[in-house]
């Protein structure tokens, strides 16, 4: 079974990826993992990618596509199937993935999109705050201090929020991802492989919905 996992930051992709791997034993392949492996193995395309990364540049699509092809051709993937995470990121890469699958006699069975309202994601991602005195981390929704405005660990009342966790920064990050994901969602919907899951549910309910989809194609 060959899968692709999609979802905005904070949608719970990491948690659901672990559950999918535990049950279906597919090989979880993230973009970062592929790059690290290709560079560690010093493959020709891995060294090419490293030359861009070392200069702080984005790796071109053609190099990324080559690394994906190398990884999907490996024996563990042939035996167990794959779950891509972080690739493709644009339509050109999606079309390249179709060609890679065809060349390897594989097909993409399902694209799982964990769908969560961006407003809810802003709440999830911007709720974290930190005690300035001892560094203890809290979340206003999921892990607030036992006593309001008082650190459980050291009793301080001085908290701050990192720039990355502030609502405006989080919203901008989500907007970028929505713009990137929308054409891919349309592409895979037209291909008939898109499975949308309500990511606002409890973790086990989200997985139950994913499991129902995957049970049909496994």
The residues that are catalytic are 13, 89, 128, 162, 173
Is 199 annotated to bind a ligand? Reply is no
Is 59 annotated to bind a ligand? Reply is yes
Is 153 annotated to bind a ligand? Reply is no
Q: Per-residue DSSP letters for 104-136? A: TT----EEEEEE--HHHHHHHHS-EEEETTT--
**Closest alpha carbon to 1 in 30, 21, 31:** 21
Is 160 annotated to bind a ligand? Reply is no
Is 89 annotated to bind a ligand? Reply is yes
Is 162 annotated to bind a ligand? Reply is yes
Q: Distance of CA 89 to CAs 160, 166, 178, Å?
A: 34, 25, 11
Is 13 annotated to bind a ligand? Reply is yes
**Closest alpha carbon to 117 in 188, 196, 195, 184:** 196
DSSP alpha helix (H) spans, 42-166: 44-53, 61-72, 75-80, 91-103, 118-125
Residues in the chain: 218
Is 55 annotated to bind a ligand? Reply is no
Binding-site residue numbers are 10-15, 31, 36, 57-59, 86-89, 93, 128, 131, 134, 137-138, 151, 154, 162, 173, 201
Annotated binding site for AMP: 31, 36, 57-59, 86-89, 93, 162, 173
Binding site as annotated, residues for ATP: 10-15, 128, 137-138, 201
């Amino acid at each position: 079974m060959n899968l692709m996992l999609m979802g905005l930051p904070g949608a719970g992709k990491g948690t659901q990826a672990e559950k999918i791997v535990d049950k279906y034993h597919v090989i979880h392949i993230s973009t970062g993992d592929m790059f690290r492996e290709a560079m560690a193995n010093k493959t020709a395309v891995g060294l090419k990618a490293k030359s861009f990364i070392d200069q702080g540049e984005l790796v071109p699509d053609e190099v990324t596509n080559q690394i994906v092809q190398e990884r999907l051709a490996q024996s563990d993937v042939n035996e167990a199937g794959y779950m891509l995470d972080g690739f493709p990121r644009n339509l050109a890469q999606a079309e390249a993935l179709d060609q890679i699958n065809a060349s390897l006699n594989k097909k993409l069975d399902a694209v799982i999109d964990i769908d969560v309202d961006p407003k809810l994601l802003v709440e999830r991602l911007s709720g974290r705050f930190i005690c300035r005195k001892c560094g203890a981390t809290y979340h206003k929704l999921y892990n607030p201090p036992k006593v309001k405005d008082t650190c459980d660990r050291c009793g301080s009342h001085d908290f701050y929020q990192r720039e990355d966790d502030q609502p405006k920064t989080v919203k901008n990050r989500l907007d970028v991802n929505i713009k990137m994901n929308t054409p891919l969602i349309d592409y895979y919907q037209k291909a008939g492989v898109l499975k949308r899951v309500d990511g606002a549910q409890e973790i086990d309910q989200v997985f139950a919905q994913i499991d129902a989809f995957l049970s049909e194609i496994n």
